[in-house]
Amino acid sequence: MASNNISRRKFLLTGSALAAMPTFGLMAQEEKVVFRGWTVSQLNDQLNQGPYLPPPPELKKIAESYTTNSAKVRAEYPPKTFSYGSSDAEKLDVFAPAYASGLPVMIFFHGGSWDFDNKNNYSSQAVPFLLNNAIYISVGFDNIPPNTMAGLVAQCRKAVAWVYKNAKQFGGDPNKLYVSGHSSGGHLANMMLVTEWEKQGLPANLFKGGSILSGWTDLYPVSLSLRQQFLKLTPQEVKDYSPVNFPQNVKCPVIITCGGDESPYMQMQSGDWATKLQAYNRLAGAYRMPGYFHFKTPLLFNDTNNQVIKATLALMNLI
């Protein structure tokens, strides 16, 4: 319970409260133009979404719904939790229909600026998949810090490899794997899509599709922002872990979604990524959803009555 409370507080700080906080070591440079004409403070606003969020009462309501709705889903559809590694965080929750056998699997990576939140708060996204006879997996991992970006991406790859090798034991088809994620989790999902799996002894076309919700694609502007204080990205990490550098590696169709009320940069980078995927004939759909701000876009996976989840289920040949 304590960790959930911390997650909700951090969720709120990521928005308007964090945007108003001092920028610590960047204070003296906050008016320096660093990226696309933005100063450091303006770039922080683009990444943290502060000026693009609704009033605190609405934001708080959305934040709390992550935990309360997920708790209800976990009670109604109890997941099976498996360990894919030795650390306490290297676990994943598998939500599968009764008597599942040979079903497609959606692997989801949660957001949280790479430094907070956990798999439990992203359980409500399982419902549309369960209702359409598919398996949903929420992946846990060690946040940064104490993790590093290299370590985090490696953990996620390990989780995916575990799912492929063990899918049959929970009723999944290892040849029908899909990946999704939101925000920093969308970045991790994108990294899974650009991974050269054949170099790790797995099929090159490991994934049959992806659906990215407001996912980061370029770590360079992130490295210029307040988040660099805890991410401590090296130039090599910025290069290696920016999916936007590797569209040629994507082997499957991908849906890209952003919120119409998100910051201009979030919408811009989703559009840039969609354009790159389209150039390689990998774009399955691109959606800008009116009325959705950054922390609301995960709710597109909470029901079956919107075009994003419908397109995602169709991508999985479920509808």
Q: What is the pLDDT of residue 242?
A: 98
Structural domain containing residue 19: 2-315
- From CA 125, how far away is CA 133, in angstroms rounded? 14
Average pLDDT, integer, range 245-267: 98
The predicted pLDDT at position 30 comes to 59
pLDDT tens per residue, range 135-163: 999 999 999 999 999 999 999 999 999 99
Structure tokens at 89: 């965080």
Helix axes 184-194, 149-166, angle to 10 degrees: 60
Q: How far apart are CA 135 and CA 126, in angstroms?
A: 8
Least confident of 4-13, 88-97, 106-115: 4-13
With 80 as the cut, is the pLDDT of residue 276 above it?
yes
Residue 19 CA to residue 138 CA, distance in Å, equals 29
pLDDT over 80 at 3, yes or no? no
Report the pLDDT value the prediction gives residue 32, as an integer from 0 to 100: 87
Domains in the chain: how many in total?
1
Q: What is the structure's pLDDT at 7?
A: 36
Model confidence over 172-229: pLDDT tens digits? 999 999 999 999 999 999 999 999 999 999 999 999 999 999 999 999 999 999 999 9
CATH of the domain at 142: 3.40.50.1820
Comparing CA positions, the residue from 306, 148, 168 lying closest to residue 232 is: 148
The per-residue pLDDT for range 118-129, each reduced to its tens digit, is 999 999 999 999
What's the pTM value of the predicted model, to 2 decimals?
Answer: 0.92
Write down the mean pLDDT value for the chain.
Answer: 92
Residue 31: predicted pLDDT: 79
Q: How far is CA 312 from CA 47, 51, 216, 317, in A?
A: 26, 30, 19, 9
The pLDDT assigned to 21 comes to 38
How confident is the model over 61-86, as a mean pLDDT?
A: 96
Beta strand spans in the chain (E): 33-35, 38-39, 80-83, 91-95, 103-109, 135-139, 172-182, 207-213, 254-259, 283-289
Query: How far is C-alpha 256 from the geometric centre of its chain's CA atoms?
Result: 12
pLDDT at 19 over 70: no
pLDDT in tens, 278-312: 999 999 999 999 999 999 999 999 999 999 999 99
